[in-house]
Structure 1
Amino acid sequence: MDATYIQNSILQLKTDIFMDVRHKTLQKYTGDPVLDENQLFYLLVPFFNGEEWEHEQKEAAITVGIVYAALAAHDHIKELDATSKEQQLTVLAGDFYSGRYYEILAASGNVALIRSLSQGIVARCEHQIKVYEQEERTVEQWFAAVENIEAGLIAQFFELYAFEQYVALVEKGLLYFRLERELAAHQCGQTSLFNTCIEKSAIHEGTTYERVMQNKIVQLKAEILQDIKQASFLQDDIKWALEARVEANVVSTNG
């Protein structure tokens, strides 16, 4: 399995998601749904590794992608300005995507998937609220919250379809990419609620934002590469693909 096949599979999943949430007006003003290619890659890792992947798993994966698109649309609303037409339509886009995945789930009759994703959405939203409220938490608690925000829904999907052995890979991998993005943004002078939370907690713990972020990124990268090396359930070409993505630090997001 080469890099071209993997990339084409990611693009096909993205296309399938777009087709299920296509809306002319929303697309005109807000563009296509925001989909993180790293999330889509990790969502497909069991498929790449030769696990059972029938129509049910494929449709469930599309639904997970739509859920992420809905949550991302709401996350991208500016805290200080939700009054412009574009911002209001972005809110509506998130609501529309939410309606579509509820509709798809209801039509599928897949009660187990409905229960699993519902639990995942609740957990993710609880962690996201903590970021917005900027609660007093340790740096490691913030890292755990962001790990759930980034990977929790995919972990729920894996556990539902007996892909539990992949959970640690997706959790560490997506946290790694998120921290890399946040650190890069901070170094460019861009602020975010998450970075503000980390900075406050780092100061409280007697250290700096840069130090805790860099240390965690180095730690995660070492752990991820070691986990991949020791994962006997992974085929060699999938190990290579996972390692290559981490080494290349592929953090692109397509909006």
Structure 2
Amino acid sequence: MSATSITQAIHTLQSNILQHVHHRALLQNVGQPTLQQEQLFFIQLPFLDTAPMNDEQMKSAVAVGVVHASLLEHENVKETESTSKQQQLTVLSGDYYSGRYYQILAHTGNIALIQKLSQGIVERCEHQVRIYEQAHTLEDWIESLTVIESKLIEQFYKVFNFTDYIELMKQSLTIIRLQKELRALQQGQSGFLYKAFLLEEQAFSRDEIIEVIQQLLQQRKEQLQELLNRTKMDEELKQAIVQLCAI
């Protein structure tokens, strides 16, 4: 599995997803849906390591990608501008992508995947709601981030019996999300963890939160490297994960 093949596989999945959610008015007013390259990579990881996706599996992978796009569009709605035309169209785009996801799954007839993804969406949303609650530990917040980033792909893996890849995927996506949280803080922006820390009774400065996340990242990267060392998988795929996670 060469780096070029990995890139081509990601591009193919991305193109298929965009084709399924194409809508001229939304494209003009909101733009293309957000498709995260790391999500597209891990959706396909087991198939890149074993055998290429068949038609049913590709449709299912597209459905997972569309769900992610839908949820990310809803996350992009700003509370302070929720009544603006742009924000209303953002909500509508998320709803439209949701409808396309159900349509794709209906065509596959894969009841197990429908059930698993529905369960995953519920769990993901429950952890997103935690940001409005208090009395959670740091471990709880990290677990919420992990669920938000990986739950849908975990459910996808389970349907197609690729459970051996779950821990590797979860660790990697958590690291990537923590890196995004760190960059946001360093740039003066407020990410998920920053909002979570503000809920705590003890006040934390931005610099203190940055230091905590840096320590967490170092620990997580060491754990991921150990996991990669003992995992039997194509070396090019391992290298791709190393690059994605900046180990």
Task: Output the TM-score relative to the length of structure 2.
Answer: 0.94
1:141 aligned partner: 140
1:251 aligned partner: none
Structure 2 alignment gaps of length 5 or more? none
1:244 aligned partner: 243
Write the mapping of 1:198-217 to structure 2, written as runs, cut at 5 A: 198-201=197-200, 203=202, 208-217=208-217
Name the count of aligned residue pairs: 246
Structure 1 alignment gaps of length 5 or more? 249-255
- Relative CO higher for 1 or 2, CA cutoff 8 Å, sep ≥ 6? 1
Give the Cα–Cα distance (whole angstroms) in 1 for the partners of residues 122 and 4 of structure 2. 36
Give the Cα–Cα distance (whole angstroms) in 1 for the partners of residues 184 and 246 of structure 2. 19
CA deviation map 1:110-139 (0-9, x unaligned) = 1001001000000001001112x1322001
2:12 aligned partner: 12
Task: Output the TM-score relative to the length of structure 1.
Answer: 0.91
Write the mapping of 1:87-236 to structure 2, written as runs, cut at 5 A: 87-131=87-131, 133-201=132-200, 203=202, 208-232=208-232, 234-236=233-235
Assess, with a 3 A threshold, how the Cα gap between structure 1 residues 202 and 175 changes in structure 2: closer, same or farther: farther
Paired residue secondary structure (2:79): coil
CA deviation map 1:18-38 (0-9, x unaligned) = 000000000101101101101
CA deviation map 1:54-113 (0-9, x unaligned) = 212111111000000000000010011111111100000000000111111122211001
Amino acid at match of 2:106: A
Give the Cα–Cα distance (whole angstroms) in 1 for the partners of residues 167 and 203 of structure 2. 29
Write the mapping of 1:33-112 to structure 2, written as runs, cut at 5 A: 33-51=33-51, 53-112=53-112
Stretch moving more, 191-200 or 20-29: 191-200
Assess, with a 3 A threshold, how the Cα gap between structure 1 residues 203 and 172 changes in structure 2: closer, same or farther: farther
Asked if structure 2 preserves the Cα contact closer than 8 Å seen for 1:186 and 1:195, the reply is yes
Give the Cα–Cα distance (whole angstroms) in 1 for the partners of residues 185 and 243 of structure 2. 25
TM-align CA RMSD: 1.9
Asked if structure 1 preserves the Cα contact closer than 8 Å seen for 2:171 and 2:224, the reply is yes
Asked if structure 1 preserves the Cα contact closer than 8 Å seen for 2:181 and 2:192, the reply is no
Give the Cα–Cα distance (whole angstroms) in 2 for the partners of residues 130 and 106 of structure 1. 31
Paired residue secondary structure (1:80): helix
Assess, with a 3 A threshold, how the Cα gap between structure 1 residues 202 and 142 changes in structure 2: closer, same or farther: farther
Tell me the percent identity.
38
1:253 aligned partner: none
CA deviation map 1:138-168 (0-9, x unaligned) = 0110000010000100000011111001111
